[in-house]
């Protein structure tokens, strides 16, 4: 055999082997990328569903907090049972909201979770207050505190909305 034939043949065989290994590496990288994209998509969908559920409960809690506003109660000044009922309803909404936060902690971003925990912390005094079965005088005395809590909850819900919107806007599928 002539050397002119052997050298190109060896180079061709090496090139074929090199091409084969490179195609295997490329295929492996494509598979890893596809897995990452799938995991990222599942994470996004899970997080999005959690935010939808949390937001629904947060709106309910916010509306329940608004029902504690003093302006609303001017209509029902002579009905302490109605006021007590509203506090109890707010307490139930707080409990549901707190359970939802606890169930979904791992699926929220840290920023959203911190805001939700702030709302949880803000709402706890009213929950404890409502559980004490307050008298009419205690309800009247506690109204300014309820109003302050309500305003804090309302401002935090707006912050949660903005943070969820930012979070969803920054996630690419």
Domain boundaries, the chain: 38-170
Residue 79 scores a pLDDT above 60: yes
Q: CA nearest 52: which of 121, 114, 100?
A: 100
Q: Which DSSP string corresponds to 72-133?
A: HHTTTTT-HHHHHHHHHHHHHHHHHHHHHHHHHGGGS-HHHHHHHHHHHHHHHHHHHHHHT-
Q: What is the pLDDT of residues 11-27, one digit of tens each?
A: 888 989 999 999 999 99
CATH number of the domain at 38-170, please? 1.20.1440
pTM strictly above 0.75? no
CA gap 85, 147 in Å, rounded: 16
Q: Give the pLDDT band (50/70/90) at residue 76.
A: low
Residue 172 scores a pLDDT above 60: no
**Structure confidence at residue 80 (pLDDT):** 66
């Amino acid at each position: 055999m002539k050397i002119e034939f052997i050298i190109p043949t060896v180079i061709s065989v090496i090139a074929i082997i090199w091409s084969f290994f490179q195609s295997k590496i490329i295929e492996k990288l494509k598979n890893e990328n596809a897995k990452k994209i799938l995991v990222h998509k599942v994470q996004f969908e899970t997080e999005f569903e959690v935010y939808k559920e949390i937001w629904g409960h947060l709106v309910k809690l916010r509306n329940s907090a608004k029902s504690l506003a003093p302006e609303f109660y001017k209509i029902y000044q002579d009905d302490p049972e109605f006021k007590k009922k509203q506090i109890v309803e707010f307490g139930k909404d707080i409990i549901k909201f707190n359970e939802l936060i606890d169930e979904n902690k791992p699926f929220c971003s840290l920023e959203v979770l911190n805001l939700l925990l702030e709302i949880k912390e803000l709402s706890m005094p009213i929950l404890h207050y409502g559980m004490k079965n307050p008298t009419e005088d205690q309800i009247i005395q506690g109204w300014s505190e309820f109003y302050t809590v309500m305003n804090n909850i309302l401002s935090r819900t707006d912050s949660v909305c903005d943070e969820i919107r930012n979070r969803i806007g920054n996630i690419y599928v």
